[in-house]
Amino acid sequence: MSKIKNICCIGAGYVGGPTMAVVAAKCPDIKVTIVDLNAQRIAAWNDENLDNLPVYEPGLDKIVAQARGRNLFFSTDVDKAIEEAEMIFISVNTPTKTYGLGKGKAADLKYIELCARQIAKVAKTDKIVVEKSTLPVRTAEAIKNILDNTGNGVKFQILSNPEFLAEGTAIEDLLNPDRVLIGGGTDTEGQEAIQALAEVYANWIPQERILTTNVWSSELSKLTANAFLAQRVSSINAMSELCEKTGADVNEVAKAIGMDSRIGPKFLKASVGFGGSCFQKDILNLVYIAKSYGLHEVADYWEQVIIMNDHQKRRFASSIVRTLYNTVSGKKIAFLGWAFKKDTNDTRESAAIYVADDLLFEQAGIAVFDPKVEKGQIYADVNYLGTRSEAQNEKGITVFADPYEACKDAHAIAVLTEWDEFKEYNWQHIFDNMKKPAFVFDGRNVLDGEKLREIGFVFQAIGK
């Protein structure tokens, strides 16, 4: 197989954008074109003002500035990019199905199938098609079936190359990944395709971190990694509730167990619950796959991770209500943070959405401040739940551009995202302007509770 000169990536989202920007920055000899049907998103990627990129990630602006217009291009001309490329990444969304068979659990693969059909229609030369999206195990088979029926003699190789970046640290994760995983066919053509992709990554990633497997192992490894990571969060969150009952401190417990090298210290932060576009979706998908093979115990085991996470979000909201004398009706509750984690503008499945929904049922007035999330997104997130009218949501939620204004006259503050800047606020000033007693519910264990209590706050954290 000759060297790759042209790459096309379908899907200019949180994965396609940063991933391909790094490929272009590290491989100046390869032309990388990222295409999307969403013209507004493509325009934002092409915006001269790098503050307007559609994805916020630390360091992304510099990478885009380095490569854009040189060998990195963003376009809505999907067909042209497919035609030109020898290698096509599919990086479109694979959300949980909201209709029909597998509703609420299975991954919705309609966008993947559309891509495969479009590639089949347009391709005139042989292509390597790379699954970058997270997919159910054995999806490559379906893609291959579609591609192999074009009748025009074009040969396709399908690779699985799941992405392990985490939002907020995407650029660092892409520049210096723990590993890159490439799954492909075991025959000669499959191995050649794997090699072609491995050579792209070899421009900046040491050989020993490029792992190759068969396609099915690669597809399943991605779901497994997310399930294990989410399970750790649910495990420590389960212990956080027990800590609150027993006088143990979840941070101390996490430190004590994390020093066991078999357990390790990462991913043991108790929180208001995990969010993000991946964990819940991928575990639900895993549960669906297990059930479809009749593996009910396996399915139930993983489903418990989600059940625990839902419980953690719900009990945070009910603890606010209970502590505020069993009613928040007409009270102002300030939310610090709306994103599902710090250093991202992504709000998908953020715990904040569900806590807000519960408190709106209790007739609270919610005042939101987030350093990176736009106002319209916050309303869209709550409206998407469909639990009340848009007008009621607009009445119940006010979005502020200034954290001090959000907290002014509030009865309580709830920390929903662990943004670093929250630690640096003038908490005395915030206290002075709040209703008394002034409550803080730290859903991320980021604030200095002792200092806040000295100021006069009634302070509650997770797992303490």
Question: Distance between alpha carbon 79 and the CA centroid of its chain, in Å?
Answer: 28
- Looking only at residues 204 through 233 of this chain, which bind ligand NAD when binding is defined by CB under 6 A? none
**Cα angle at 160 between 156 and 161, to 5 degrees?**
125
Phi–psi pair at 7, nearest 5 degrees: -115, 140
Query: How crowded is residue 91: how many other Cβ atoms within 10 Å of its Cβ?
Result: 27
Going 82 to 87 to 93 to 97, the CA torsion angle's sign is: positive
Q: Which amino acid is at 228?
A: F
Q: If contact means CB under 5 to 8 A according to the sort of partner, which of ligand UDX, ligand NAD, none does residue 91 touch?
A: ligand NAD
Q: What are phi and psi of 366, to 5 degrees?
A: -105, 130
226 contacts ligand UDX (rule: CB under 6 A): yes
Verify whether residue 243 is a known catalytic residue.
no
Per DSSP, what are the bridge partners of residue 8?
33, 88
Q: Which two tokens stand for residue 230?
A: 């989410």
The answer to the question of residue 389 lying near ligand NAD (CB under 6 A) is: no
Report the site for ligand UDX in 272-311 (rule: CB under 6 A).
274-276, 278-279
Task: Give the SS3 label for residue 441.
Answer: strand
Determine the number of helices (DSSP H) and then strands (DSSP E) in the chain: 18, 14
Q: What mask, x for binding ligand UDX by CB under 6 A, covers residues 332 to 361?
A: --------xx--------------------
Q: Which of 8, 243, 278, 407 is catalytic?
A: 278
Q: x/- site string to ligand UDX, residues 158 to 197, per CB under 6 A?
A: -----xxxxx------------------------------
CB of 459 vs ligand NAD, minimal distance in Å: 32
Among 21, 128, 233, 414, binds ligand UDX (CB under 6 A): 233
Pick from 318, 332, 164: which is nearest to 244 by CA? 318
Interface residues for ligand NAD in 278-297 (CB under 6 A)? 278
CB 91, min distance to ligand NAD, A: 5
In terms of CB distance, is 86 or 244 closer to ligand UDX?
A: 244
458 binds, among ligand NAD, ligand UDX, none (CB under 5 to 8 A by kind): none
**Number of alpha carbons in the 13 Å side-chain half-sphere of residue 239:** 17
The helix (H) or strand (E) run that includes residue 300 is helix 296-323
* Interface pick for ligand NAD out of 133, 221, 234, 237 (rule CB under 6 A): 133
Which residue in the set 78, 81, 268, 321 belongs to the binding site for ligand UDX (CB under 6 A)? 268
Angle, vertex CA 27, rays to CA 15 and CA 61, nearest 5: 50
The interface partner of residue 71, options being ligand UDX, ligand NAD, none and the CB cut-off 5 to 8 Å by kind, is none
CB atoms within 10 A of CB 293: 9
Query: In the complex, which residues of this chain contact ligand NAD (CB under 6 A)?
Result: 10-16, 35-38, 41, 78, 91-94, 111, 114-115, 133-134, 163, 165, 167, 277-278
Q: Which residues are catalytic?
A: 278
